[in-house]
Amino acid sequence: MRDIEEYAKAQDRYYAANDENFISGDSPVVLDVYATLKTFGKFGSIKCPSSTGTILVEISTDGTTYQQQFVIDKYETFELIGIKINKIRITHSGTNSAYRIFVR
């Protein structure tokens, strides 16, 4: 219940990133959420709004090591609820795609 209450609170900082043309030359991209927010992100989403590709995602809770890689398919959204987020690494999957990140 506490996570829901925390999520409902107004936040004064957020992290947002967007790449509508994510190509192999851009990969991997590391998004430093902690450096922007000055704290860990706990809520948000990662979207793959592209109709052509998928993205490979890894989340780091300590800024150094990453958890197991997972796939976000085209038009899919992965909700970040209660996950301690320091950095997010997005890797090209072999087909050009896009991503949108919003974390608070």
How many domains are contained in the chain? Answer: 1
Range of the structural domain that residue 59 is part of: 2-103
Say if residue 61's pLDDT is above 80: yes
- The one-letter code for the residue type at 37 is L
pLDDT digits (tens, 9 = 90+) for 16-48: 999 999 999 999 999 999 999 999 999 999 999
Cα–Cα dist 93/5, whole Å: 36
**Range of lowest pLDDT (47-56, 61-70, 78-87):** 47-56
Percent of the chain past pLDDT 90, that is, above it, reads 78
17-26 as b/e: b if 16+ CB within 10 A: bebeebeeee
pLDDT digits (tens, 9 = 90+) for 7-16: 555 467 899 9
CATH number at residue 79: 2.60.120.10
